[in-house]
Amino acid sequence: MQFREKFLSISLFVITSFLCGDLALAAGTNVTSSLLLNLGIQYDNNFYYDAVDERGVTTFLVQPGIELGYATGKSEIAFRYTLDANYYDESAEDDFYGHTALLDSNFEMTDRLSFNLSDNFVKTRDSAELDPLGNIATRDQYYQNRLNAIFELDFKPKFTTQFGYQNRITDYDDDTREDSKGHMGSFDLIHYLNRSTSLDLEYHYWNMNYDGPSSDYTSNQLSLVVRKEWRITGLEAAVGYQNRAFKAADQGDIDVVPYRLTLLGESSSGKTRYSISAAKNFNLRSDDGYYEANRFSVRLNRDLTVKITLGLNAYYQKSDYVYTIRADDSYKIIADINFQIRDRLAFYYSVGFENRNSNIPSAEYENAMTMGQLRFTHDIAK
C-alpha cells in the first residue's frame, strides 16, 4: 500500500506538471514539455552476480516520464522524471518500481556572477549509481540523492573562480547495508592562457558519515588540471594528491596520487564521436572496503545513416584493496544500436558482457545481458 501511495503521488505530480507546462505554452511563455514512454525487455543470465549459482532473469520494463524546460535570456531550468517499473518473469521475484528525477538550473545573477543548482534522485537496484569508481555488484534496493550548488565568479578573459557544494545521501531498503551521508566543498581557480587552453587549480574537501560500523572520514584533494581544445578534439589532464583521514582511532590515514585523462572528439564530418578516458583514485564508499581504482573507459558512436547509430561502451578497472589482500580485475562492454523509426519513435537494442576476476573466489562473477526497447517521445508543443 505504501508503494502504491507513492506511485499515485508521483503520478499526480507528473500530471500537474504536464498541465502547468501545457498552460504556460498556451500563454506564450518559454516553456517546453514532452511526454516519454519506454517499453522494453531485458535478460541477464546471472542476475544476482553469483559466483556459483547463476540465475537467469527476464525483466519487462515500463518507463513513463515527462520532460519540462523553461528558459529566458538569463536563466534555464530543466526537469526530467521517469517511473522505472520492473516486472520479473520469476514468481519468486518482487516486482520493483524505481524512480529517476533530474532537476538542472542555471541563473545569470550579474554580468560576472552565475549560479547552478542541480538535484539528481534515483531509486534503483543498479549498483553502478553508487560510486563513480564502484566495484560492488549487488541487486540491493536503495535510493540516492545528489544535490549540487555552484557559484561561478567570472573575471574573463583571464580568470574564473568557482565555489561548489555537494550533498549526497544513500539509503538502502535492506538494513544489512550501511546508509551514508556525504558533504563536499570545492574551489576552482581557472586561468585562461588563451582561447583554447586553461589551467585549473582544483581543491575538494569531502566528509563521509556512515550509519553503520564503517568509520567516518574526511578527504582533502588538490589537483592541477589542464584543458586544451582543438577544432574537433578536446583534452583534459589532471594530477594531484589526496589524503583520507578516518575518525576511528585504529584506522590510519591513506593516501593516493589521483589522475584523470579524458580525450573527446569527433570526425570532421561529425558522424563519428568518441571519448577515451583513464582515471585513478580511491572509491568513495566502503561497501566492500576501500581500494585504489585504475579505470580505463571508451565510448564510440557512429552514425551509419541519418536514422541509424551504432555505439560501443566499455571499461576495464583494476581495484587494489587497501586493508586486505583482495585484488580485482573487472570489465564491462556493451554494443548498441539506435534506430529512429519516426520523429517520435525509436528502437534501441544492446548486448553486453561483464566480468570480475578476483583473488577471492567468492567475489568473482560474470554476466551476459541483452535488452530491446521501444522509446516514444511526444512533444506537447506540436
Give the Cβ contact number of residue 263 at 10 Å: 15
Q: Using the predicted structure, report yes or no on whether residue 347 has a pLDDT greater than 70.
A: yes
Position 282 scores a pLDDT of 97
Q: Say which amino acid occupies 362.
A: S
* Stated pTM of the model: 0.89
pLDDT tens-digit series, residues 13-36: 444 444 444 444 444 468 899 999
Q: Using the predicted structure, report yes or no on whether residue 278 has a pLDDT greater than 90.
A: yes
Whole-angstrom distance, CA of residue 10 vs CA of residue 95: 18
Buried b (16+ CB within 10 A) or exposed e, 72-101: eeeeebbbbbbbbbbeeeeeebeebbbbbb
pLDDT tens-digit series, residues 60-97: 999 999 999 999 989 999 999 999 999 999 766 789 99
The set of cell numbers assigned to 271 is 558522424
Q: Percent of the chain, pLDDT > 90?
A: 85
Query: Could you tell me if 59 and 87 are in contact, meaning their C-beta atoms sit under 8 angstroms apart?
Result: yes
Position 105 scores a pLDDT of 96
Instruction: Give the pLDDT band (50/70/90) at residue 3.
Output: very low
Position 119 scores a pLDDT of 96
